[in-house]
Amino acid sequence: MCGLIAVRDFSATSNLEPAVQRALASLARRGPDGEGLATVEQTPRTVLGHRRLAIYDTRTVAAQPMLCPDTGNSLVFNGAIYNFRSLRDELRASGCVFRTDSDTEVLLHGWRVWGEELFARCNGMWALVIWDAASGDLVYCRDRLGIKPLYLCNDGQTAILASEISAIADFRGGYPPPNPEKLFDFLVTSYSEQSHATFFQGIQAVPPGQVYRLSRTGRTRARAYHHWPQPGELEPLDAEALHALLTDAVSLRLRADVPVASLLSGGLDSSIITHLALKASDSPQHRLEGAFTYAYHEAEHAAVDESAKAAAFMHASGRPDLHRIVRFAAIPSADELMSLVGVQGEPFATPSILASFRTYRAIAEQGFKVVLGGEGADELLGGYTVRYHPLAVRSALHQGQWRQAAKLMGHRTFPRSLLLNRMIWDMPLSVITPLLRRLRPSVQAISGDLWSAQRQRMEAIRDNARLDLEQRLRDDQLSSLLPRVLRMADRTSMDAGIELRSPFMDYRLVERALVTPAAERVGERYSKVLLRTAFRNELPASVVETPKNTGFGHAEQFLLRRLPWEPLLEDLPAELGSFIDVASLRRRLSDPHTEHSTLWQALSVALWYRRFYA
């Protein structure tokens, strides 16, 4: 995993390299193990830059940009191709000769032999750029889910592709203006990735699952290499298939030439990942060597500190020696909070990610470079009971299934207070809009100017909120929640030079989950019933039968007023007032009844604006 930049200049700029080098420096934390630059001396001039985090074949011979000796093609690549060894065997059979034991070289030869068909063969996560010598095209592509980031800014004179927006800004000499549509949507919904637009005008995220070609003349072509199935196109998951797919996904992601650890909260997802990794460990390059748990110093957070539960799990697994507990004070300093804001690069939906931000840094300090995590399990398999169970009741009521609705509402885990929240979206906009403006803290903080300019977007927001349970799960996986989770996870892990691997994001598992009925994934009493069933006979009942746990960063999420916001809301640029009513935000944060609240979204926007525009 690494950081990359590629620049294609159509304006005949004489010296691109210094600007590319400056932009590459902003990606240093993503790739602390090396730096490379390659210039294509053809018209239009193209420069590829790379910062390396060495995971497979740590020798310098596997450094990037990597040149194909047979074709002259050049590649920069961020990510990991987990099945690269089996792909290499196929390529060797066709006559390819390899100098390294890296997945990068497999991609280079794979492009030569298979062309655009290469990407459908890959199981992994990636963002890459290839300069194709034969055509002169600049080819760029992301994995099916967009686990690895890639951003594009193309003004017709210069096209810039980079792993992070900061690199584009450094190349351009500054950040473009904020995107008001994106800010409005985020403040109303908390979604940040539903479209390919970013919070910065003129910069977009490259859509996943497609291959793009930028020609010498500036023409862009795109072709999808993957389509997510609809129900009926594949066999749905059952417990046995889920167990087998996840077991293989963990085994594939365990292989590395550097030490591998797991995140262990003590809950279902992380316990399953850690359990399967321990079972699969069979060689120095295929072994789990640590399990890390986030915990608190303060006794007041004992109710959400799961370190004892995680320790008991590791003891029962017979490997307590691998367990590490990292403890922190729940409340960050102003400097630490602003460091997190800078690392994320865009507003983010929850302060709970402070926990993973800290944990990855602690893991890196102990010499680890790869971490297995449970990202995507909740979105894929229905882990959010407060989100999905009210939707199931709403669907039952819409269909006149009164007994089923009453049954669901009778479970002790059912969040009755949120049912009305879901039902409100069935009302006309003339009712919804004033209710949101009056009752939702993040919407209250929207400035009058932004509200007036963007309120027409409420119709699309309402339509999305009306999705039924089946539609909601699919949208959460492919458009809203999961892309948001993946973006936040990439930034917090790569800030520490950690390659985060998520077995639940194996595309084979995602495909099967997408065609499995929502009710079979979510369940009625607990969440993720299919996952619990799959591992009921292997894990302790205390893990399998316990409702969804609090997870990393639970205390931070519910201590909004105690965050060091006061000095950070002083001396803000006056232009922020075009988007946020700062006086209203301050009043609400001073309100003793404000704790866990959508008000964080408004605070996040204010801190983001301070960091990038002050």
The residues annotated with a catalytic role in the active site are 2
Extract the annotated binding site for L-glutamine.
Answer: 103
CA angle 457, 458, 462 (to 5 degrees): 130
Q: Residues annotated in the binding site for ATP, as ranges? A: 263
Helix spans in 140-215 (H): 165-172, 180-189
Q: Three-state SS for 78?
A: strand
3-state secondary structure of 578: helix
Reduced DSSP (H G I as helix, E B as strand, rest coil) percent helix, strand, coil of the chain, to 5: 50, 15, 35
Rounded Cα distance between 48 and 5, Å, is 6
Tokens of 185: 């949507």
Binding-site residue positions: 103, 263
CB 40 within 8 A of CB 81: no
For residues 75 and 240, give the distance between their C-alpha atoms in angstroms, rounded to a whole number: 39
* Sequence-ordered list of residues with C-beta below 8 angstroms from that of 44, at least 6 positions apart, any chain: 8, 9, 10, 12, 216, 218
Please, are residues 32 and 497 in contact by the beta-carbon 8 Å criterion?
Answer: yes
Instruction: Sheet containing 138-142: give its strands across.
Output: 66-67, 74-81, 124-131, 138-142, 210-214, 220-224
Is 76 in contact with 107 (CB distance < 8 Å)? no
Cα separation, 498 vs 361, whole angstroms: 8
Angle between helix 103-114 and 84-93 (nearest 10): 50
